[in-house]
Structure 1
Amino acid sequence: MASVGKKKFQTPHTYLIIFGIVILSWLLTMVVPAGKYSTEVLNYEGKNGETQSRVVLKENSFRYMYPVKEEVLKKELSELLSQDDLLLRLEVDRTGLADLLNKSDDITIDELASVGLEESELYDLYGNSIYDTSQKLHKTAKIWGTQDHNGFGFLNYVFEGLVTGDRYGSAVGIVALLLVVGGAFGIIMRTGAIDAGIYAFVSSAKGMEHLALPVIFFLFSFAGATFGASEQVIPFVMVIAPFCVALGYDSITAVTITFAASQIGNACSWMSPFSIAIAQGIAGLPALSGAGFRIIMWFVITSLSCAFMMRYAKKIHQNPQLSPSYHSDAFFRGNADLDKEKERPFLLGHKIILIELLLGLVWIVYGVMAADFSIPELASQFFVIGLIAGITALGCRLDGLTANDLAIAFKDGVSDLAPTAVVVGMAKGILLVLGGSDAGSFSTLNTILYSVGRLLSGIPSIFGAWFMYIFQSFFNLIVTSNSGQAALTMPIMAPLADIIGVSRQVAVLAFQLGSGFVDAFTPVSASLVGCLAAARIDWSNWAKFQVKMQGFLFLLGTVFIVIAIAIGYQ
């Protein structure tokens, strides 16, 4: 009787991971008391000389949520009623406050807020004297409920998370951006222009072996940096793997110059709507800001990574048997039809669409850097680029496309990114379970941040930022969705950056470097596994090479984080 083999471990879906975190977060609120900070508005000069403002934490203003000492509070408020100037300055409803003092029930902080007397103002006036500091209170959500019906319950985290925010940030604005961008790229991919361009280059590269690998590497790195190429790389690996083996290299080289290159580009991106735009939106930064530094970083890291890859490729070219994938590459070496690839025409319409796409990307960079375009403008730009590509495809009669075909392509593109959009809302729900991300409201999250801040207090800001980078790298071993990781971690990392004294731009930088590089290594990445399957490589063989490259990339990431802090990157 044949023995039944053990079932292979299956990595939980991102939705399951988030649901598990929601449950743990809810239980955590029962253990960790709620806390808050006082905040103030800081005015500063923008890049065009205009006055801008930002809400920041007041130093040493953290306190826990305590029960109110009713007798002390009523005594202080009674005295406050006689101070007309102070009531006027605080904009307190004198009549409403008097009515609260006359009622027989206890006065709550929420009732005081309704007459214009916020908790932060009470703390500024009386400190902890109005609180019973012997008992720290918890802020735990109900099991079920809505904001409008009996209060928020953690089982409603998906809906409540999706409807938070506004058109400029998390979660509503980012969800809308993802759906529009997905539809636009659905149209662009349906025209076949990107496929035809890549295949045309691969075909013409034969005879230029010394140039083919670095050019392909830079192309895919640019694709990762601009539109977050990931699973889109899989079909190209199917062509480039036999191409590389035919040139005397190996399939590991093929996956490196395609998928690994795209993730390096993604890690250094200055404009990806799926990673940096989401992270910056959650961190309260202008969408795609700080692009100049990131463009330089992308070029430097891509160049050095390409050199690292070429060193490996040269060694394999001299002795193919040194390759960890040497035996599996026998499939490609034994293929008698390597040089008889299917003809893929690169038509005039394809070329026009690629030129339009390039001009569109330049337009986006200009809008972000020079015109202060934000999420609404960015979504519209991508839509226009997709629309023009579709019109061009119809005019040039590419592949017999019809207007209905393009509409379906837009729908399919939206469908492809709808799961990612839901992740943004679900992850936002985690924050709601933890009490919200508002530093000026009592929440378990604020207490966690305060505790981590105290743990990191006194250490140089460089080490604090490095800790963020390490955390994001390890976190990406489990959650490989860049948008999902941004939604999960940036609400914690952004305010933590304020506490340890580094800019939020540096916190976003640590996120994107950690989440991007490790995507090319982690075995739970569906896109990586798909590319390895297309190249017939076992992950263990891939890891033998990639672990060395990951060490090299981690070193480069550390260097750029140090540089960012040294120059005061904002």
Structure 2
Amino acid sequence: MKKKFALPDAYVILFIILALAAVLTWVVPAGEYERQETDSATIVVPGSYSQIDSSSAGLLDVFLAIQEGMVAAAPLIFLVLIIGGSFAVIESTGAIDALILKTIEKTKNKELVLIAGVMILFSIFGALGIVVNAVIAFIPIGIILARSMKFDAIVGVSIIYLGAYSGFATAFLDPLTTGTAQQIAELPIFSGVGYRVVIFSTIVLVTMLYIFWYAKKIQKDPSKGVLSGNPFPKVDKDAEVDGNKEMTLIHKLVLLWLAVGIGIYVYGVFQHQWGLNEMAAIFLVIAVGTALIDRITPNNLVAEFFNGAKGLVYGALIIGMARSIVVILENGKILDTIVEGMAMLMTPFTSATGAVVMFIANELFNFLVTSGSGQAVIVMPIMTPLADIMEVPRQVAVQAYKMGDGFTNIITPTSGVLMACLAVAGVPWTKWAKFVAPLLLIWTVLGAIFLMIGVWMGWGPF
């Protein structure tokens, strides 16, 4: 009997990419740019690339990179575990099930209205740069929503993740990505926002319609879904939400406490530049507060917390595995060489075509550097003079970077946030890639059109 072909696990895929990156350190010449320290960032000096002594990766370096990747990604890894544990405590109270049932009751036979409302909310958060990493915390809610509406985990992830990242793909008011890129390009911060809102609205609408189409397809025939036969891999097939669960005062207090906690974090992000560590601390406070509200004993709190956390170990560690690929490229001193190669490829192009090449190059580069602000610091000092040479408005160059960075976040296995979200939902990356690849193609075509229009209309300033 022939063995059925099985697609490789996400860890296998990432290790193959890691091994290829190590091989590249032997093939690609080592090099680096000169960098200047400024008040807000470390800026690459255009035209300063030079080759340096090779630092090729050996066999042990490959495995050292995994450890270094885990260490570098530790804040995000532990954040995922803490969120998983905290949500397990919240779910043990029955508050979320009660909320979802109430929501479903209010939107009976209006599933698409519910999906649209949640997606619009998260797309606005994404456009403001609020839920870039925090989106992980809301995936369990998306899964419960999708399950209650008889869809699958793909829809659950999409409502939250694609909702947020369709907004983040343009991020017209995000100070860390669009703001940083405009500052490096010497443009007024958040200038050109009108056209960006048009792009944002179009991308969000197209994403919503794509999810509607998939949801309706599997509603008619569940076997048509990419997770057919196992629509919710992380949920017991026999488990169902208790349809008789009432919304009690305890449930309302638990949900209010959750909302207050998240609200405090959002306030801290804007007022005090809070990061991942503060987010983890807030969720620990949420878990403890929930236990006090529902009178959960300390021992039961610990048990519920670790039951939730241990289910996310797979997804948490894969974040470090993804980070190891960047580690091997940085240690091998070939990351700047790859950027320089991209710059040379873009030089012969002019005007609208050049803008599209910038965009595609950034989409590809995002597979290596998934940090939006990190990518801005690396590529914008190169793209700004290139834009001037190719007679491309600098505003277009910024948008080429932003969409290039934002679009491929929804598919790249080197994105720790994406892999963590999929792990929370139990969705294999290979299945997700099959679902989301057509949407990425649609986004890319639309992005290219918007950039060409930007060139033709002389999108300013300069």
Question: TM-score band (shorter)?
Answer: 0.5 to 0.7
Q: Deviations over 1:189-215 (max 9, x none)?
A: 421233432233123322656744534
Aligned in 2, Cα 1:278/1:410: closer, same or farther, shift over 3 Å? farther
Separation in 2, partners of 1:312, 1:385: 33
2:54 to 122, 138, 159: 138
After TM superposition, the structure 1 = structure 2 runs for residues 368-447 of structure 1, keeping only pairs within 5 Å, are: 368-369=269-270, 371-375=271-275, 378-397=276-295, 402-405=300-303, 407-408=305-306, 411-412=309-310, 415=313, 418-435=316-333, 444-447=334-337
> Which amino acid in 2 is paired with 1:56?
I
Aligned in 2, Cα 1:415/1:268: closer, same or farther, shift over 3 Å? same
Q: Which residue of 1 aligns with 2:253?
A: 352
Separation in 1, partners of 2:335, 2:241: 60
Separation in 2, partners of 1:20, 1:208: 44
Instruction: Work out whether residues 33 and 48 of structure 2, in 8 Å CA contact, stay in contact via their aligned partners in 1.
Output: yes
> Which amino acid in 2 is paired with 1:452?
M
Aligned in 2, Cα 1:197/1:35: closer, same or farther, shift over 3 Å? same
Instruction: Work out whether residues 179 and 417 of structure 1, in 8 Å CA contact, stay in contact via their aligned partners in 2.
Output: no
SS of the aligned residue for 2:4 comes to coil
Offset, 1:239: 2.8
1:27 to 23, 26, 36: 23
Offset, 1:391: 1.6
Q: Which residue of 2 aligns with 1:463?
A: 356
> Which amino acid in 2 is paired with 1:237?
A
Instruction: Work out whether residues 191 and 398 of structure 1, in 8 Å CA contact, stay in contact via their aligned partners in 2.
Output: no
Separation in 2, partners of 1:210, 1:411: 32
Q: Which residue of 2 aligns with 1:57?
A: 44
| Structure with more relative contact order (C-alpha pairs < 8 Å, separation 6 or more) | 2
Q: Deviations over 1:430-468 (max 9, x none)?
A: 224422xxxxxxxx3322322221111254563244214
Q: Which residue of 2 aligns with 1:237?
A: 146
Q: Which residue of 1 aligns with 2:186?
A: none
After TM superposition, the structure 1 = structure 2 runs for residues 87-102 of structure 1, keeping only pairs within 5 Å, are: none
Offset, 1:490: 8.7
Q: Which residue of 1 aligns with 2:65?
A: 157
Instruction: Work out whether residues 35 and 446 of structure 1, in 8 Å CA contact, stay in contact via their aligned partners in 2.
Output: yes
SS of the aligned residue for 1:350 comes to helix
Offset, 1:8: 1.3
Q: Deviations over 1:169-224 (max 9, x none)?
A: xx2xx422441353144213421233432233123322656744534655787899
Q: Which residue of 2 aligns with 1:264?
A: 162
Offset, 1:423: 2.1
Instruction: Work out whether residues 70 and 321 of structure 2, in 8 Å CA contact, stay in contact via their aligned partners in 1.
Output: no
Q: Which residue of 1 aligns with 2:389?
A: none
Q: Which residue of 1 aligns with 2:370?
A: 486
Aligned in 2, Cα 1:553/1:404: closer, same or farther, shift over 3 Å? same
Q: Which residue of 1 aligns with 2:266?
A: 365
Offset, 1:406: 5.0
Q: Which residue of 2 aligns with 1:149?
A: none
Offset, 1:352: 2.5
Separation in 1, partners of 2:140, 2:118: 17
- How many positions carry a matched residue from both structures? 405
Separation in 2, partners of 1:492, 1:23: 23
Offset, 1:231: 7.1
Q: Say whether residues 1:499 and 2:382 are aligned partners.
A: yes
Offset, 1:268: 3.3
Separation in 1, partners of 2:112, 2:338: 53
Aligned in 2, Cα 1:404/1:313: closer, same or farther, shift over 3 Å? closer
Computed over aligned residues only, the root mean square deviation of the Cα atoms, in angstroms, reads 5.4
Offset, 1:347: 2.8
1:9 to 2, 6, 9: 6
Instruction: Work out whether residues 230 and 263 of structure 1, in 8 Å CA contact, stay in contact via their aligned partners in 2.
Output: yes
Which shifted more, 295-304 or 202-211? 295-304
Offset, 1:307: 5.0
Higher helix share: 2
Aligned in 2, Cα 1:429/1:400: closer, same or farther, shift over 3 Å? closer
Aligned in 2, Cα 1:528/1:381: closer, same or farther, shift over 3 Å? closer
Determine which structure has more spread, i.e. the larger CA radius of gyration.
1
Aligned in 2, Cα 1:433/1:7: closer, same or farther, shift over 3 Å? farther
Instruction: Work out whether residues 230 and 527 of structure 1, in 8 Å CA contact, stay in contact via their aligned partners in 2.
Output: yes
> Which amino acid in 1 is paired with 2:108?
K
Separation in 1, partners of 2:344, 2:47: 11
Offset, 1:373: 0.7
Aligned in 2, Cα 1:324/1:354: closer, same or farther, shift over 3 Å? same
SS of the aligned residue for 1:60 comes to coil
SS of the aligned residue for 2:41 comes to strand
Structure 2 unaligned runs (5+)? 184-188, 232-239, 385-393
Q: Deviations over 1:497-527 (max 9, x none)?
A: 43222778964652332222789xxxx9898
Separation in 2, partners of 1:421, 1:279: 21
Structure 1 unaligned runs (5+)? 43-51, 66-136, 145-152, 164-170, 242-250, 332-338, 436-443, 476-483, 534-538
Instruction: Work out whether residues 39 and 56 of structure 1, in 8 Å CA contact, stay in contact via their aligned partners in 2.
Output: yes
Instruction: Work out whether residues 179 and 421 of structure 1, in 8 Å CA contact, stay in contact via their aligned partners in 2.
Output: no
Offset, 1:383: 1.8
SS of the aligned residue for 2:149 comes to helix
Offset, 1:409: 5.2
Separation in 2, partners of 1:454, 1:32: 15
> Which amino acid in 1 is paired with 2:103?
F
> Which amino acid in 1 is paired with 2:42?
V
After TM superposition, the structure 1 = structure 2 runs for residues 248-327 of structure 1, keeping only pairs within 5 Å, are: 251=151, 258-268=156-166, 301-306=203-208
